[in-house]
Amino acid sequence: MLLAATLIFHTTLDYMLNSIEEFETVPLPPKKIKVISSHNPIIQVDAKAKESWMLVNFSSGKTHKVPESDAEKNTLNNYEWDLGFSRTKIITNGGATNPLGKTGVINLGPVDFEEISTAPSKGYVEDKVSFGNLINQEFSGWYNYRTRTHNIESKNNVYIVKLANNGFMKMRILNYYCGKKDQDCRSMMCSRQEAACLTLEYVLAKNGQFPSNIPEPVKEISPNIN
């Protein structure tokens, strides 16, 4: 019986080794890029540069890439913008970042995006300096950091932003990786090359009111980088 068991073990082992060798020679299928869509406008922000801010004007969909030193010199008022992105950091066009700006934000938490119909009249938080860094406390905890995979996962909070032109916008961060959904990065490490490419869903208010939940054709904005 011992001899038979040994023979079976070696036969199984040989089969497994041959199968692994055959598997490794099979070419991988082409990479599939998953497109994130919504009936609301979507914009992707390239925030990969660590020493730069990608400034976004949501009314026009235009962006401006500026060095971090411009924020330290209080020269950001030279641009028309609402929010700035650098990796996981987000700043607003107001407060300590730009004393001449009017932008502020309210974090509503992970509420139903479509249920938000009215922009609050007050309570908007502007940027401040903390330990030498520009921050907005409403945006500071927008993500979870997965220690096992070292990935960034959005909390799907909904934010109301008072824009630089005195208008209002509701928005949420859908993910942090180009071509990936957050749930795809919970059990595996996503590519570092795809990191810091934030996908944002947003709706602009009209006279402080957000349009009702009426599905429209998907509108995707590809920002012009100046």
Sequence ranges of the domains in the chain? 34-221
Tokens at 85, concatenated: 């992105």
Q: What is the pLDDT of residue 70?
A: 78
Burial of 70 (0-12, 13-18, 19+ CB in 10 A): middle
**Whether this model's pTM surpasses 0.85:** no
Strand partners, 83: 56, 92
Q: Helices (H) and strands (E) in the chain — how many of each?
A: 2, 14
> Quick check: 42 and 199 in contact, CB under 8 A?
yes
Q: What is the pLDDT of residues 186-217, one digit of tens each?
A: 555 665 667 888 999 999 999 999 987 554 44
Q: What is the pLDDT of residues 100-147, one digit of tens each?
A: 999 999 999 999 999 999 999 999 999 999 988 899 999 999 999 877
- Contact partners, residue 12, CB within 8 Å, separation at least 6: none
